[in-house]
Amino acid sequence: MDKSKYIARTADGQEVELTQATIIRSNNLYPFGRHNYAIYETPDGRFVKGMNNGEREIMLTSYELIEESEARNYSHPYYRED
């Protein structure tokens, strides 16, 4: 596997390359937790939502393909609590 590529595996087992994807919006505040997410648009026009399930040391722990309308209008339900 090429370690210079950013490959995400979705919950349904699909692999999506995010190396050249554009981040539409995100929250990457550390320490990581449920408040972390990223919305990507791939060069081939697919949209991916990355989420954190509560992991403190990894920003994104799960990925899913979403529709463009959801990607462009996404509002994350979690906020960082200090």
Query: pLDDT digits over 7-23, tens only?
Result: 999 999 999 999 999 99
- Domains, in order of start, for the chain: 7-72 (3.30.505)
pLDDT digits over 35-79, tens only? 999 999 999 999 999 999 999 999 999 999 999 999 999 999 988
Q: Tell me: pLDDT of 3 over 90.
A: no
pLDDT at 82 over 80: no
| Gap between the Cα atoms of 42 and 6, Å rounded | 11
Among 17, 35, 28, 46, which residue's Cα sits nearest to residue 82? 35
pTM: 0.90
